[in-house]
Amino acid sequence: MTANELRQKYLDFFKSKEHAIISSASLIPENDPSVLFTTAGMHPLVPYLLGAKHPAGARLANAQKCIRTDDIDEVGDATHHTFFEMMGNWSLGDYFKQDAIAWSWEFLIGKDWLNLDPKLLAVSVFAGDEDAPFDEESYNLWLAMGVPAERIAKLPKKNNWWGPAGQTGPCGPDTEIFYWSGTPETVPAGFNDDNELWVEIWNNVFMQYFKNADGSFSLLEQKNVDTGLGLERVLAILSKCDNYQTELFSPLIKELEILSGKTYGSDVQTTQSLRIIADHVKAGIFIIGDQRGVTPSNVGQGYVVRRLLRRAIVQAGKIGIDVKFNHTWMSKLISNVIQTYIDIYPELEENQNLITIEIEKETMKFQNTLENGLKEFDKLKVEQGRIGGVEAFNLYQSYGFPLELSAEIAEERGLEIDRAGFTEELKKHQDLSRTASAGKFKGGLADSSVETTRLHTAAHMLLAALRKVLGDHITQKGSNITAERLRFDFTHSAKVTPEEIAQVEKMINEAIEKCLDVAYEEIPLDEAKATNAHGVFDSKYGESVRVYTIGVDNKKKQSEWDEIFSREICGGPHVENIGKLGKFRIQKEEASSSGVRRIKAVLE
């Protein structure tokens, strides 16, 4: 089965169970400041898990692009990735445990579906603790499906609880499904979570709680189901090989074999390097290819792309690819990834130029870094043949010099590095930046607070006003909204002048004084576009979307409104009338990346 067939089979199965199929959202969360990337399918759906009505209904299914970097050190084994696709089915206050479990089982073992051998499957359920009880219902449902008791593990929150994605938000106990990846004859009778040959393939989360800022849990108004079935892992099972030998990776690995002259599987180190390069380059391509203004940089999402690409370059150097003098070696890998995903993610091909330029720029920068870093390396203090952890960390911090690389160069010179000292220093730094970002990302749309909602509506007004003042070429490139302020990125090649800023503020504040209404409607995407609604079009032709309109007046029907201030495709939430927004003020206007400007604004 090909990856496209598998994805389609999954969607067809859930279509037959009356689910509406929705598109993958961007990897860069729209309006959700609590995380850097979409790490799971639930992310873009948070408002609906909390009770907002989804235009496509209460049963949804999709395949969502995800980026997860918390497992980055595991990449190199057979099953971990930083970029992956998660197939998911969703109940928004509709079906619950019984149907979710029965359908997962039917899809996995059904003759017309994946036809997996049930003897090679095992599951786990939540064991219960002081926050929530043992999930006896799921346990009994699995028994009823015919799963033997020794294959149903009861595990704590660490294993069987999912969410929230940020610090607060919807979450709940989950039940996970594992597949025996060893030879069938060696499958043990019972399930043991420590045995790595049991690979987790599917997670069914029963989202019925909300985690509050003080760490306590409250019951949600509706009971939801959020599931995630890993596309790469299931494809590997069906193809009877490891993830990197499936068609989602093999062309890429082949290209790397040609570039390096090395063979996948020849030895552990080479295989690991090939996997890391393939994974990281693919992730970088997908992030830049989403065209939301994320390019390699020293902060936030851009820093993640930089790290991924640089790690890939270091590994490439290790297996003999010429990374010192050639800055275009990744271009074949880029076309390769684009070809693999061309039918599903056409945005990659549309942005091929941008992706190539950004990756080549970064490759060149890293070449300079390496050169300067080497010079610095020779100036490092050496005590008894040892380079201190703080010194190695500074090299990493200031020159992007990875520890593995420093260790290698040290070895060449007969020196060693205090690795424990480096790790300690790194941890100190991570704790610091975590605290900083926790403060920075306080509030946010993920918790739908009143303040954030008001600023979200103000962000719509800002886009509309910018288009009126600067021209129709302005499109949104991303936003980040907390309870305190909004940050808004948009395409524009010049600095916005103080006069233009004053005009934008005036236009928004006059509209606020007019107490315009905000209303929404759910209409097909093509109709929304035809009526000039702006917004990010993640949805496909024919899908229904929610369109928010800010305009006058509250006595008339929306179709008869004679003044429209803003009209945008958006999941919400928004205020109902802008009269109480307060005074809109732009605090700062600056460059964000090339051709993209950034505005920070507040409501006073």
Q: Which of residues 557-576 bind ligand SER (CB under 6 A)?
A: none
Q: Which of 6, 27, 36, 42 binds ligand SER (CB under 6 A)?
A: 42
Site for ligand SER contains 172 (CB under 6 A) = no
Tell me how far, at minimum, the Cβ of 225 lies from ligand SER, in Å.
9
Tell me how far, at minimum, the Cβ of 147 lies from ligand SER, in Å.
20
Site for ligand SER contains 79 (CB under 6 A) = no
Site for ligand SER contains 479 (CB under 6 A) = no
Nearest to 234 by CA among 503, 459, 13: 13
User: Rounded distance, CA 177 to CA 160, Å?
Assistant: 11
Site for ligand SER contains 138 (CB under 6 A) = no
E-strand stretches of 527-593: 534-535, 544-552, 563-569, 584-593
Q: Tokens 């199965």 belong to which residue?
A: 13
Tell me how far, at minimum, the Cβ of 222 lies from ligand SER, in Å.
17
Site for ligand SER contains 147 (CB under 6 A) = no
Identify which of residues 228 and 293 has a Cβ nearer to ligand SER in the complex: 228
Report the residue closest to ligand SER, judged by CB. Answer: 228
Tell me how far, at minimum, the Cβ of 228 lies from ligand SER, in Å.
3
436-475 footprint of ligand SER as x/- string (CB under 6 A): ----------------------------------------
Q: Which of 6, 11, 20, 40 binds ligand SER (CB under 6 A)?
A: 40
Does the N-terminal peptide bond of residue 346 adopt cis geometry, omega within 30 degrees of 0?
A: no
Task: Please identify, among the stretches 40-48, 280-288, 349-357, 555-563, the one whose residues bind ligand SER according to the rule CB under 6 A.
Answer: 40-48
E-strand stretches of 493-558: 517-524, 534-535, 544-552
Could you tell me if 249 and 199 are in contact, meaning their C-beta atoms sit under 8 angstroms apart? no
3-state helix, strand, coil in the chain (%, to 5): 45, 25, 35
Nearest to 309 by CA among 276, 354, 269: 276
Tell me how far, at minimum, the Cβ of 177 lies from ligand SER, in Å.
11
- In the three-class reduction of DSSP (H, G, I as helix; E, B as strand; rest coil), residue 54 is classed as coil
Residue count at the site for ligand SER (CB under 6 A)? 10
Site for ligand SER contains 88 (CB under 6 A) = yes
Site for ligand SER contains 205 (CB under 6 A) = yes
Q: Which amino acid is at 89?
A: N
Identify which of residues 28 and 586 has a Cβ nearer to ligand SER in the complex: 28
User: Rounded distance, CA 594 to CA 376, Å?
Assistant: 30
Containing H/E element for 481? Answer: strand 476-481
Q: Which of residues 323-352 bind ligand SER (CB under 6 A)?
A: none
208-227 footprint of ligand SER as x/- string (CB under 6 A): ------------------xx
Could you tell me if 549 and 567 are in contact, meaning their C-beta atoms sit under 8 angstroms apart? yes
Q: Is 78 exposed, middle or buried (0-12, 13-18, 19+ CB in 10 A)?
A: middle
Tell me how far, at minimum, the Cβ of 91 lies from ligand SER, in Å.
12
User: Rounded distance, CA 50 to CA 47, Å?
Assistant: 5
Site for ligand SER contains 162 (CB under 6 A) = yes
Could you tell me if 396 and 406 are in contact, meaning their C-beta atoms sit under 8 angstroms apart? yes
Identify which of residues 32 and 425 has a Cβ nearer to ligand SER in the complex: 32
Identify which of residues 64 and 273 has a Cβ nearer to ligand SER in the complex: 64
Identify which of residues 177 and 237 has a Cβ nearer to ligand SER in the complex: 177
Tell me how far, at minimum, the Cβ of 174 lies from ligand SER, in Å.
7
Q: Which of residues 410-429 bind ligand SER (CB under 6 A)?
A: none
Q: What angle do CA 484, 486, 488 make, to 5 degrees?
A: 165
Write the Ramachandran bin of 296: left for phi over 0, alpha for psi from -120 to 50, otherwise beta: beta
Identify which of residues 227 and 363 has a Cβ nearer to ligand SER in the complex: 227
User: Rounded distance, CA 390 to CA 388, Å?
Assistant: 6
- According to DSSP, the β-strands at 83-92 and 217-230 are antiparallel
Structure token pair of residue 177? 């499904």
Cα 216 from chain centroid? 26
Task: Please identify, among the stretches 35-43, 116-124, 375-383, 529-537, the one whose residues bind ligand SER according to the rule CB under 6 A.
Answer: 35-43
Tell me how far, at minimum, the Cβ of 152 lies from ligand SER, in Å.
19
Q: Which amino acid is at 378?
A: D
Site for ligand SER contains 203 (CB under 6 A) = yes
40 phi and psi, to 5 degrees? -160, 160
Identify which of residues 42 and 285 has a Cβ nearer to ligand SER in the complex: 42
Tell me how far, at minimum, the Cβ of 204 lies from ligand SER, in Å.
7
542 phi and psi, to 5 degrees? 95, -20
Q: What angle do CA 308, 313, 315 make, to 5 degrees?
A: 95
Task: Please identify, among the stretches 34-42, 75-83, 242-250, 272-280, the one whose residues bind ligand SER according to the rule CB under 6 A.
Answer: 34-42
- C-alpha R_g of the chain: 26
Q: Which of 7, 20, 28, 41 binds ligand SER (CB under 6 A)?
A: 41
Site for ligand SER contains 228 (CB under 6 A) = yes
Site for ligand SER contains 108 (CB under 6 A) = no
Q: What is the contact surface with ligand SER in residues (CB under 6 A)?
A: 40-42, 88, 162, 203, 205, 226-228
